[in-house]
């Protein structure tokens, strides 16, 4: 539900103790102890298995408590001018009730909706019309129209299951259904203009949210949703290779479906039928665009070594020596443009990236042919200039960013291009890759915030005209999957926001001292050894996302802690040795676990924008125009400077954390214990043993609580134990 408190428009998201009296006879009554607007939302789900509805949800800010009740039927919302129907789509979620009592969680966030201002233009419950019900929308928009060139690219990367969008962060509130609509509208726009538009994704589709990870096999529900976007080129990320069954899912299902659009130039998998290694997808793709450009594409994963033994990653330096690659470079067919894309940082200065190795090999044969690069894996917005006909983009992470690159300069002499030379009515790319370039090619690049305002603005639509059925249907699929997995179940109400990297490691705002350390101290306890002093050591890289102020859900557990690392321990370690471990670990290699080696630390100044500030909405309807309000978010600096962000933001600070954290519990009130239990994630065991030295070996190490208790098992109990205040009235941050 969404409501106002006496004109306080800053409140935007709340959990209600609905005082709901659920009745099988078909009524629900909800007392809302505050004046204002309320609504039920569709994702609220269904324990009683019957649709119910509400009436008189709307009281236009009258300062009187009000009550909701309704039979199982549609009712028009109380205000005539709303003109919207409360569909019978709101169900009560028994699981939430089981967890926190009969409560409803809801939020608001429509461009025209009541949470932002005067309520004369309110949309209540949506019939799965667009972004996830309850997700907040941005209050601002892009700074200006996109440049369109002869060939244009939309790039996504490292989506990590965030297809639901960011339910508590307006900057990135759109869901995959909204994006489906956006891609289709932009493809149409390209067609109308007479130019090309290609959609490119560079992998890492799992490990990040409940939608992708809460199923017994990752991706069973999320992958069909991801597949609703008709990408022209896709490639594989390291997160498709950790778990063999996921790798085989990509090989057996998606590689077959995507055909040669799935380009995995250096990744092979063991064919279970033959035992032989085969490429997961195609080694390369040669194709001709709608407008006649002849493209040769390679998709190259960085030199990843943490894969399961089901797959094999060929180092780029070896790949470029292979016969198929030489044949592709020396093809007798004309190539107007190389696309070099990969799960691989786009910057040639990134030490872990191998794109430069492949680019050099292309350049050795084709010294001037344009190369368009698309990167990923380092989770940053970035744009890199390789030479005057080679530029690359990297589109961040987690469905926060869409990368846009436009390019122009093809003609009948240098290509097969048959489209429009310069699309009219829009800006065209005007910038050479490098100053003083002599090539005819001009470029533009932009990083788009992943919200509906962005999509609506760039597709020249109105909020009411934007949606396509195809997108709305995908939004519905996401809602249904979330409900099936019970991802919205609320376990606690985080009383403030904690960020991973926006504050120093010792700041109360930092997620480690604020949440992780107290949570493992409290929850990671073996009952039989509860009275023993213990030191718990973990890798900061195992934590992947902030905890925004507000309801903490089952989904948030996957979001913050997507990995399942078992807690193991050594008993009765001399304290003087144990207390040195944190310093030894942090002075050693930053990350020992291959999984985490691959988690590049963003170099950008702002990688974790916290929940954006929502100002009071001043505009209703119409394309979003440039706003005065500047929200916290990405401020990107790349090879071209600082003008790439599509929406202007104020920067969020970025502080680098040490590689490891330490938690202590069960210590005596005074003095130091003689011995402690040393508890740690399984993957750092050999380093713990190495630092402890003689007298310690693997035979002394045991699972701590049990061999199934992992890094994914302490946050939910902690939220249930500690974050119960205001659980029925839980606001999100800054809104
Ligand atoms: Zn990633
Ligand atoms: Zn990655």
Q: What is the DSSP string of 168-234?
A: T-GGG---HHHHHHHHHHHHHHHHHHT-EEEEEE----SSSSHHHHSSSSTTTTHHHHHTTS--SEE
Architecture, CATH, for domain 151-483:
4-Layer Sandwich (3.60)
Domain boundaries, the chain: 151-483, 489-601+656-723
3-state secondary structure of 533: coil
Closest CA to 450 of 166, 186, 62, 259: 166
Closest CA to 461 of 181, 174, 133, 81: 181
Ligand 2 mean position, distance from CA 691 (Å) = 29
SS (H, E, C) 640-691: CECCCECCCEEECCCCCCCCEEEEEECCCCCCCCCEEEEEEEHHHHHHHHHH
Alpha carbon distance 307, 266 (integer Å): 13
Q: Tell me: the pLDDT tens digits for 319-369? A: 999 999 999 999 999 999 999 999 999 999 999 999 999 999 999 999 999
Q: Which helix (H) or strand (E) holds 246?
A: helix 244-249
Please answer whether residues 676 and 534 qualify as being in contact, where contact means their C-beta atoms are separated by less than 8 angstroms: yes
User: Is a pLDDT exceeding 60 seen at residue 119?
Assistant: no
Tell me the mean pLDDT in the region 662-687.
Answer: 96
Ligand 2 mean position, distance from CA 396 (Å) = 11
Query: What sign results for the dihedral spanned by CA atoms 80, 84, 85, 86?
Result: negative
Q: Can you say whether residue 416 is alpha, beta or left, with left for phi > 0 and alpha for psi between -120 and 50 degrees?
A: alpha
User: Is a pLDDT exceeding 60 seen at residue 272?
Assistant: yes
Closest CA to 483 of 221, 127, 226, 718: 221
Ligand 2 mean position, distance from CA 336 (Å) = 30
**Is 0.75 topped by the overall pTM?**
yes
- Which of the ligands is closest to the CA of residue 562? 1
Ligand 1 mean position, distance from CA 488 (Å) = 24
**Please, what is the angle between helix 469-485 and helix 176-193, to 10°?**
160
User: Is a pLDDT exceeding 70 seen at residue 418?
Assistant: yes
User: Is a pLDDT exceeding 50 seen at residue 100?
Assistant: no
Q: Tell me: the pLDDT tens digits for 51-86? A: 222 222 222 222 222 222 222 222 222 222 222 222
Tell me the mean pLDDT in the region 175-188.
Answer: 98
Neighbours of ion ligand 2 (CB under 5 A): 204, 237-238, 377
Ligand 2 mean position, distance from CA 168 (Å) = 24
Confidence of residue 733 (pLDDT cuts 50, 70, 90): low
Ligand 1 mean position, distance from CA 377 (Å) = 4
> Cα angle at 335 between 331 and 337, to 5 degrees?
140
Ligand 1 mean position, distance from CA 341 (Å) = 15
Ligand 1 mean position, distance from CA 158 (Å) = 4
3-state secondary structure of 433: coil
Tell me the mean pLDDT in the region 702-725.
Answer: 97
Ligand 1 mean position, distance from CA 652 (Å) = 21
Altogether, the residues listed in the chain come to a count of: 735
User: Two tokens at 399?
Assistant: 């469905």
Percentage of the residues of the chain whose pLDDT score is greater than 90: 71
Residue position matching structure tokens 């010294």: 367
Neighbours of 7 (CB within 10 A): 10
Residue position matching structure tokens 């799960």: 343
- Which of the ligands is closest to the CA of residue 156? 1
- Which of the ligands is closest to the CA of residue 206? 1
Q: Tell me: the pLDDT tens digits for 630-642? A: 788 999 999 999 9
Ligand 2 mean position, distance from CA 599 (Å) = 6
Q: What is the CATH number of domain 489-601+656-723?
A: 3.90.780.10
Closest CA to 179 of 399, 397, 395: 399
3-state secondary structure of 532: coil
Strands (E), 376-507: 381-387, 390-395, 401-408, 442-449, 490-494
Alpha carbon distance 219, 212 (integer Å): 5
3-state secondary structure of 45: coil
Ligand 1 mean position, distance from CA 396 (Å) = 9
Q: Residue 135 gets which letter from DSSP? A: P
Tell me the mean pLDDT in the region 719-730.
Answer: 94
Q: What pLDDT, on the 0 to 100 scale, is given for residue 298? A: 98
Closest CA to 648 of 147, 141, 139: 141
């Amino acid at each position: 539900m969404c409501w106002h408190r006496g004109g306080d428009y800053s409140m935007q998201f709340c959990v209600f103790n609905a005082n709901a009296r659920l009745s099988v006879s078909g009524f629900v009554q909800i007392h809302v102890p505050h004046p204002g607007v309320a609504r039920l939302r569709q994702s609220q789900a269904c324990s009683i298995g019957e649709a119910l509805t509400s009436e008189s949800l709307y009281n236009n800010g009258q300062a009187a408590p009000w009550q909701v009740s309704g039979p199982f039927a549609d009712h028009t919302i109380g205000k005539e001018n709303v003109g919207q129907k409360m569909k019978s789509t709101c169900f009560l979620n028994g699981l939430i009730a089981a967890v926190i009592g009969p409560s409803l969680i809801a939020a608001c966030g429509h461009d025209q909706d009541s949470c932002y201002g005067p309520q004369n233009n309110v949309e209540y419950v949506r019939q799965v019309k667009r972004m996830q019900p309850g997700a907040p929308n941005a209050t601002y928009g892009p700074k200006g129209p996109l440049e369109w060139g002869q060939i244009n690219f939309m790039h996504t990367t490292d989506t990590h299951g965030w297809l639901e969008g960011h339910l508590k962060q307006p900057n990135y509130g759109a869901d995959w259904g909204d994006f489906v609509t956006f891609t289709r509208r932009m493809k149409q726009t390209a067609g109308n203009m007479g130019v090309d538009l290609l959609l490119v994704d560079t992998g890492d589709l799992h490990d990040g949210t409940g939608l992708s990870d809460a199923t017994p096999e990752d991706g069973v529900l999320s992958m069909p949703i991801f597949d609703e976007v008709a990408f022209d080129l896709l490639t594989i990320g390291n997160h498709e290779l950790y778990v063999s069954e996921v790798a085989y899912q990509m090989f057996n299902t998606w590689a077959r479906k995507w055909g040669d659009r799935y380009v995995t130039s250096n990744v092979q998998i063991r064919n279970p039928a033959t035992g032989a290694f085969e490429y997961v997808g195609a080694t390369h793709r040669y194709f001709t665009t709608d407008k006649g450009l002849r493209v040769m594409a390679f998709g190259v994963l960085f030199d990843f070594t943490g894969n399961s033994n089901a797959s094999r990653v060929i180092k780029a330096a070896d790949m470029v020596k292979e016969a198929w690659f030489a044949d592709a470079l020396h093809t007798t067919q004309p190539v107007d443009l190389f696309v070099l894309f990969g799960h691989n940082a786009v910057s040639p200065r990134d030490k872990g990236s191998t794109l430069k190795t492949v680019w050099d090999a292309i350049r050795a044969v084709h010294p001037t042919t344009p190369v368009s690069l698309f990167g990923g894996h380092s989770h940053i917005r970035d744009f890199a200039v390789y030479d005057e006909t080679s530029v690359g983009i990297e589109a961040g992470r987690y469905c926060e960013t869409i990368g846009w690159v436009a390019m122009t300069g093809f003609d009948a002499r240098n290509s097969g291009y048959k489209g429009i030379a310069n699309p009219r009515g829009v800006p065209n790319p005007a910038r050479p890759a490098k100053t003083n370039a002599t090539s005819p090619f001009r470029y533009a690049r932009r990083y788009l915030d992943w919200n509906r305002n962005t999509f609506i603005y760039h597709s020249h639509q109105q909020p009411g005209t934007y949606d396509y059925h195809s997108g709305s249907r995908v939004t519905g699929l996401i809602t249904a999957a979330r409900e099936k997995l019970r991802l919205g179940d609320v376990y606690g109400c985080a009383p403030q926001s904690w960020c991973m990297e926006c504050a120093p490691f010792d700041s109360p705002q930092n997620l480690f001292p604020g949440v992780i350390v107290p949570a493992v101290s409290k929850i990671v306890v073996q009952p039989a050894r509860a009275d023993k002093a213990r030191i718990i050591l973990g890798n900061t890289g195992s934590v992947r996302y902030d905890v925004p102020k507000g309801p903490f859900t089952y989904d948030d557990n996957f979001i913050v802690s997507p990995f399942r690392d078992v807690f193991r321990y050594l008993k009765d370690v001399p304290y003087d040795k144990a207390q040195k471990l944190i310093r030894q670990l942090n002075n050693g290699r930053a990350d020992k676990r291959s999984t985490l080696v691959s988690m590049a630390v963003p170099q950008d100044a702002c990688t974790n924008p916290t929940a954006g500030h929502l100002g009071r909405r001043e505009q209703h309807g119409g394309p979003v125009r440039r706003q005065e309000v500047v929200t916290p978010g990405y401020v990107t600096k790349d090879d071209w400077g600082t003008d790439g962000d599509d929406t202007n933001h104020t920067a969020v600070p970025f502080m680098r954390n040490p590689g490891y954290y330490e938690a202590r519990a069960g210590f005596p009130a005074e003095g130091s214990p003689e011995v402690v239990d040393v508890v740690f994630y399984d993957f750092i065991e050999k380093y713990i043993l190495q630092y402890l030295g003689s007298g310690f070996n693997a035979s002394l190490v045991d699972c701590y609580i049990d061999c199934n208790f992992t890094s994914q098992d302490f946050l939910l109990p902690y939220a249930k134990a500690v974050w119960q205040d205001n659980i029925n009235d839980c606001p999100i941050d800054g809104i």
